[in-house]
Amino acid sequence: MRADTEFVTPRDPLKVICTGDWAAVDPDGGDPRYVRAYLPRRTSFVRSTSSKRSEGQILAANVDHSIIAVSLAAELDLGRIERFLALGWESGGQPVVVLTKADLVPDPATLAHLVEDVETAAPGVRVLPVSATSGEGVDVLAAVVSGGTSVLLGQSGAGKSTLANALAGADVMEVQAIRDVDGKGRHTTTTRNLLVLPAGGVLIDTPGLRGVGLWDAETGVGQVFSEIEELGEGCRFHDCAHVSEPGCAVLAALDDGSLPERRLDSYRKLMRENQRIVAKTDARVRAELRREWRLRGPRARRR
Ligand SMILES: Nc1nc2c(ncn2[C@@H]2O[C@H](COP(=O)(O)OP(=O)(O)O)[C@@H](O)[C@H]2O)c(=O)[nH]1
Ligand SMILES: [Mg+2]
Ligand SMILES: [Zn+2]
C-alpha cells in the first residue's frame, strides 16, 4: 500500500487516480471520508493522447477483461480491431471481441463468416456476436464479465453504452439518440463510468475512442500477432526481419498462403508505430530530465 501525495497530484499522467483504482477509506473518519491509501494497480489501460504530444493517458485501472465492441452495422476494419487488441493485451487483461448489433445480420452463414474473419485477426481471443436488441449473446457476455473488472472499448456508436445497459439490466448509460449508419457517431459518453453488474463484476464504459494510439505496447502487438511471432522462431536467423532473408519461415508462410499478407502488413505497421512512440517518449523524458537539472542547478549551487 502507498499513500504518497505524489500519487494524488502526480507529475506523471499515468499516476493520476483513475476509474478502476481501489482506495482504502477510513471507516471511522468524518464526513467527507478520508482516503487513507490507494492500492497498487495490478494492470492499467493506457493509450497515447495525441500524435503531437507523446504522453500516455490512463483510461482504466485493474482491468481483467477488455471488451472490444465492433459494430456489425459498418464494414469490418480488421486493422482497427488489431489495434484495439494490442492495447487490450498490453493492459494485462484478457481481451474479448464482441460483434455488436448482430440483429442486423440475420443470415447465420454470413454472421459465421464475419466471426471467422475477426478470429483470424484475434488469435487466443473469444469473438462473440451480441445484440442488445434481440438479447443474443448478452447472457454469455454477462458470464464473461461476471468475474473481475471489464472495460468496454471501441469506436463511438459501436453500441457500448447500449450493451452496458443490457448487462446492467437498467438504463444507466446514455445512448446515442440518432441511429448511427456510418459508424462514426457522436460522443454521448463523455466520462468513464463504472457500473456494478447484477450478475457480478464491474464494468467500465468509456467514451468512444476515435483514435487509439498505441502506448509502449510491444508486448501487446506481439500477442495480437502471436502466429507471426511463433513462425519467426523457425527462421534461420534469430534476428530475422522477415524481409528477404534466406530460410525465413514467415515469408515461407506467406508463399504457401497460410499467412495472409494483410496480417504481416498490419503487424509491421503497428510495430513501427509503437517504435516511433517509444522513441518520442524517450526523447521527452530525456528533455524533462535536462530541464529539471537546469532548474535544480542554481538552487543546488546556492546551497
Ligand atoms: N440494431 C441495433 N442497434 C443498436 C444495438 N445496440 C446499439 N444500437 C444503436 O447504436 C447506436 C449507438 O449506440 P451507443 O450504445 O450509444 O454506442 P456507444 O457510442 O458505443 O456507446 C444507438 O443508436 C443504438 O440504438 C443493437 O444491438 N442493435
Ligand atoms: Mg457510449
Ligand atoms: Zn523471418
pLDDT 10s digits, 61-111: 888 999 999 999 999 999 999 999 998 888 778 999 999 999 999 999 999
What average pLDDT score do residues 273-287 get? 74
User: Is 59 within the bounds of a domain?
Assistant: yes
59, 175: one domain: yes
User: Is 163 within the bounds of a domain?
Assistant: yes
31, 49: one domain: no
Q: Return the SS3 of 297.
A: helix
**Residue with CA nearest ligand 1 atom 2:** 101
28, 48: one domain: no
**Residue with CA nearest ligand 1 atom 8:** 159
**Would you report the helix, strand and coil content of the chain in percent, each value rounded to 5?**
40, 15, 45
CB atoms within 10 A of CB 28: 6
285, 160: one domain: no
76, 169: one domain: yes
| 121 CA to centre of ligand 2 in angstroms | 25
User: Is 212 within the bounds of a domain?
Assistant: no
**pLDDT tens digit sequence for 185-211:** 454 544 557 888 998 999 988 775 555
Single-letter amino acid, residue 91: S
Query: In total, how many domains does the chain have?
Result: 3
201, 244: one domain: no
Task: Check: CB of residue 198 under 8 Å from CB of residue 169.
Answer: yes
**Residue with CA nearest ligand 1 atom 1:** 101
Distance from C-alpha of 154 to C-alpha of 207, rounded to nearest angstrom: 9
73, 199: one domain: yes
* Ligand 1 lined by 160 (C-beta under 6 Å): yes
List the domain range (segments joined by +) for residue 15.
5-38
* Ligand 1 lined by 188 (C-beta under 6 Å): yes
* Ligand 1 lined by 65 (C-beta under 6 Å): no
106, 233: one domain: no
H helices present in the chain, as ranges: 78-90, 108-120, 138-145, 160-168, 218-224, 226-232, 249-255, 261-302
**pLDDT tens digit sequence for 14-65:** 677 777 788 888 777 677 777 778 888 877 777 666 545 556 677 778 889 9
* Ligand 1 lined by 281 (C-beta under 6 Å): no
Residue among 67, 99, 155, 162 to mutate when testing ligand 1 (max atoms within 8 A of CB): 162
pLDDT of residue 50: 55
Buried b (16+ CB within 10 A) or exposed e, 250-260: bbebbeeeebe
153, 231: one domain: no
Domain end, chosen from 205, 227, 245, is at 205
159, 49: one domain: yes
| 210 CA to centre of ligand 1 in angstroms | 16
Distance from C-alpha of 75 to C-alpha of 249, rounded to nearest angstrom: 32
111, 226: one domain: no
110, 228: one domain: no
User: Is 116 within the bounds of a domain?
Assistant: yes
**CATH value at residue 145:** 3.40.50.300
Task: Check: CB of residue 98 under 8 Å from CB of residue 84.
Answer: no
| 244 CA to centre of ligand 1 in angstroms | 46
What average pLDDT score do residues 170-186 get? 60
**CATH value at residue 293:** 1.10.40.50
Q: Which residues surround ligand 3, an ion (CB under 5 A)?
A: 235, 240, 242, 248, 250
**Residue with CA nearest ligand 1 atom 10:** 159
In DSSP notation, 65-91 reads: EEEEEEETTS---HHHHHHHHHHHHHT
